[in-house]
Structure 1
Amino acid sequence: MNKLEQLKQHTVVVADTGEINAIKEFQPQDCTTNPSLVFKAAQRPEYSHLVDEAVSWARAKNGSTEDAIDKLAVRIGTELTQLVPGYVSTEVDAALSFDTPKMVEKARKLIALYAEEGVGKERILIKIATTWEGVEAARILEQEGIRCNLTLVFALEQAIACAQAGVTLISPFVGRITDWYKKAQGVNGFDIAEDPGVNSVKEIYRHFKDQGYQTIVMGASFRSAAQVEALSGCDRLTVSPQLLKELSEDTGDLPRHLDPTPQSGVPKDTTMTQAEFLWGLTNNPMATEKLAEGIRLFHQDYLKLAALVEERMRPVSRH
Structure 2
Amino acid sequence: MKFFVDTANLEEIREANDMGVLDGVTTNPSLVKAEGNVDFHERVLKICEVVQGDVSAEVTATDFDGMMEEAHTLAQIHDNVVVKIPLIKEGIKALRALDDEGIRTNCTLCFSPTQALVAAKAGADYISPFIGRIDDISSDGMTLIEEIVQIYDNYDFETEVLAASIRHPTHVKRAALAGADVATMPFETMVKLLDHPLTDRGLERFLEDWEEYQEAKEEEAATAAV
TM range (shorter): 0.7 to 0.9
3-state DSSP of counterpart to 1:170: strand
1:216-255 equivalences in 2 (<5 Å): 216-232=160-176, 233-250=179-196
- Give the structure with the higher percent strand: 2
1:56-71 equivalences in 2 (<5 Å): none
1:140-289 equivalences in 2 (<5 Å): 140-181=97-138, 196-232=140-176, 233-250=179-196
Report deviation, 1:155: 0.8
Report deviation, 1:223: 2.2
Residue 16 of structure 1 corresponds to 6
Choose from 24, 27, 49 the match for 1:30.
24
Q: Deviations over 1:49-103 (max 9, x none)?
A: xx3xxxxxxxxxxxxxxxxxxxx2221111111221111111111xx22x11221
Report deviation, 1:248: 2.3
Matched, 1:88 2:55: yes
Native 8 Å contact 2:130 2:164 kept in 1: yes
Segments ≥4 residues shifted beyond 2 Å: 109-112, 248-253
Q: Deviations over 1:163-200 (max 9, x none)?
A: 11111111111000010126xxxxxxxxxxxxx10111
Native 8 Å contact 1:168 1:216 kept in 2: yes
**Cα distance, 1:83–1:208 mapped onto 2, change above 3 Å:** same
Matched, 1:39 2:28: no
Report deviation, 1:252: 7.9
Report deviation, 1:105: 1.7
Bigger RCO of structures 1 and 2 (CA < 8 A, at least 6 apart) = 1
TM-score by length of 2: 0.80
TM-score by length of 1: 0.58
Q: What amino acid is the match of 2:75?
A: I
Identical-pair percentage: 33
CA distance in 2, matches of 1:178, 1:85: 32
Q: What amino acid is the match of 1:159?
A: A
CA distance in 1, matches of 2:86, 2:189: 24
Native 8 Å contact 1:100 1:134 kept in 2: yes
Q: Any stretches of 5+ residues in structure 1 without a counterpart?
A: 1-10, 52-71, 183-195, 254-319
Query: What's the C-alpha RMSD, in Å, of the aligned pairs?
Result: 1.8
Task: Give the number of aligned pairs.
Answer: 193
Q: Any stretches of 5+ residues in structure 2 without a counterpart?
A: 200-226
More deviation, 27-36/212-221: 27-36
3-state DSSP of counterpart to 1:82: helix
Report deviation, 1:251: 7.9
Matched, 1:76 2:51: no
